């Protein structure tokens, strides 16, 4: 191992993969972690080693975001891979996994290779593509999963569309099980959700808006669990938002089925009342649910049923959001707010800090088969240094993303990124600030 060496001293080393939580230091050499532990001290280091005083802040693996939408290719005015990478770095995310519903759809080897190459050329963080399950996202003809996996696709999803045909989904899970591929389903039965724009409830009735019933999510999750039983395929519910779906997944995990699930901060930090008087920035997929579902989702995160937190970063320009609610685009940006919003679960006493960080480091790394997400000698030096307690206020004017569609603008939060490191190189730094 050779290359530039950097020592991070006076840190709180926190590694959810091993359970490490101790004061100490960490040494990187080139793109790898060379050493770490409580015994690493500045007085023992060679003169050619650069040192960073962490000031007692948390040093942990860089975050891995399993669900990120990019405007590139096809809608670069909303987000490019370069701007996505800058936003991810500012948010402490060292690996971002992009969805395939771009223009054109990422449903063949050439486009998988294109996204991977463009990301390497333009983005400061790792950007890894998911590829489409079905050709053109039409839910009918399966793509060449094996070939795209060889080309660099880390998992397979149809983005914001569910594979509604049960026979197609059975074939996908059967094929994927042969090669150990991860199938990521957006769990929403499209016929039940077709005309809905927010959660089906009294709030929707009062606003006169068509609703998406909670059972649209539960029906799809429960169907897919039966197909997992049948095929043995590895299944990940891309986003869950209802207590019933969490309950179904909890039972499936208790039965030993290879299922996992993710939640986005908006679904555990907000409920449907955030829609207010037709506030389109609170129009999301899945929709913001009622308070009972929000609490059930928090409980699912606390007991590990929902084992991943992702941003579901969906950049939309102002023209797409400043429309009547039914016509406005769904989705919010989330790369730069993922960590502080997730930390609300820690500050509110729902999860310990290590357990919370596991949902954004080692858990997604294991699902995706990545070597990152852990602090250990020889692992890639993808690191996050952050202050978990620092108060600040979210300000959309400071976002690196090209889009500003966040319902959290002005929200007071705690926890701020100080330094983001990818392959041993600093890609975002606030360590010189007070």
What whole-number distance in Å separates Cα of residue 363 and Cα of residue 55? 28
List the beta bridge partners of residue 261. 237
User: Whose CA is closest to 232, among 261, 252, 262?
Assistant: 252
Count CB atoms within 10 A of the CB of residue 247: 17
Q: Which residues have CB under 8 Å from 58's CB, separation 6+?
A: 11, 12, 14, 353, 384, 385, 386, 387, 388
User: Whose CA is closest to 157, among 186, 180, 179?
Assistant: 186
- Per-residue pLDDT, 75: 96
pLDDT (tens digit per residue) in 102-125: 999 999 999 999 999 999 999 999
Set out the domains of the chain in order of their start, with CATH numbers. 5-59+379-400+407-429 (2.30.40.10), 62-368 (3.20.20.140)
Side-chain-facing half-sphere of 212: CA atoms under 13 Å: 28
The 3-class secondary structure across 334-392, one letter per residue, is CCCCHHHHHHHHHHCCCCCHHHHHHCCCHHHHHHHCCCCCCCCCCCECCEEEEEEEEEE
What whole-number distance in Å separates Cα of residue 272 and Cα of residue 253? 28
* Cis preceding-peptide flag for 286 (omega within 30 of 0): yes
- Per-residue pLDDT, 1: 45
Q: At 115, list the tokens.
A: 């996204």
The list of the chain residues with pLDDT below 50 reads 1, 434
């Amino acid at each position: 191992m050779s290359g530039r060496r950097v020592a991070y001293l006076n840190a709180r080393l926190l590694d959810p993969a091993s359970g490490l939580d101790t004061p100490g230091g960490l040494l990187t050499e080139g793109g790898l972690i060379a050493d770490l532990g409580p015994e690493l001290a500045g007085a023992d280091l060679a003169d050619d080693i650069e040192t960073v005083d962490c000031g007692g802040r948390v040093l942990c693996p860089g975050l891995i975001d399993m669900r990120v939408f990019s405007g590139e290719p096809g809608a670069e005015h909303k987000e490019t891979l370069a701007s996505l990478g800058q936003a991810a770095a500012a948010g402490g995310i060292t690996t971002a996994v992009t969805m395939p519903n771009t223009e054109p759809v990422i449903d063949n080897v050439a486009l998988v290779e294109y996204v991977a190459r463009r990301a390497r050329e333009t983005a400061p963080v790792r950007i890894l593509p998911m590829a489409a399950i079905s050709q053109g996202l039409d839910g009918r003809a399966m793509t060449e999963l094996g070939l795209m996996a060889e080309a660099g696709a880390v998992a397979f999803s149809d983005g914001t569309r569910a594979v509604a045909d049960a026979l197609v989904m059975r074939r996908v899970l059967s094929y994927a099980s042969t090669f150990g591929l991860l199938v990521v389903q957006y769990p929403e039965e499209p016929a039940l959700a077709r005309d809905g724009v927010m959660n089906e409830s009294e709030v929707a009735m009062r606003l006169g808006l068509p609703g998406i019933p909670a059972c649209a999510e539960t029906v799809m999750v429960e169907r897919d669990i039966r197909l997992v039983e049948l095929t043995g395929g590895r299944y990940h519910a891309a986003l869950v938002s209802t207590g019933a779906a969490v309950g179904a997944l909890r039972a499936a995990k208790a039965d030993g089925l290879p299922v996992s699930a993710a939640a986005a901060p908006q679904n555990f930090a907000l409920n449907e009342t955030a829609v207010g008087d037709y506030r389109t920035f609170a129009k999301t997929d899945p929709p913001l649910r009622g308070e009972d579902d929000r609490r059930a989702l928090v409980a699912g995160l606390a007991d590990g049923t929902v084992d991943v937190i992702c941003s579901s970063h969906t950049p939309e320009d102002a023209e797409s959001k400043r429309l009547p609610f039914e016509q406005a685009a769904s989705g919010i940006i989330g790369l730069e707010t993922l960590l502080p919003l997730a930390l609300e679960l820690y500050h509110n006493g729902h999860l310990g800090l290590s357990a919370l960080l596991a949902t954004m480091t080692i858990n997604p790394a294991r699902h995706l088969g990545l070597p990152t997400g852990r602090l250990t000698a020889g692992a890639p030096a993808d690191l996050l240094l952050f202050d978990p307690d620092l108060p600040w206020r979210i300000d959309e004017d400071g976002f690196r993303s090209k889009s500003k569609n966040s319902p959290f603008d002005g929200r007071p939060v705690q926890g701020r990124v100080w330094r983001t490191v990818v392959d041993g190189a600093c890609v975002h730094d606030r360590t010189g600030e007070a």
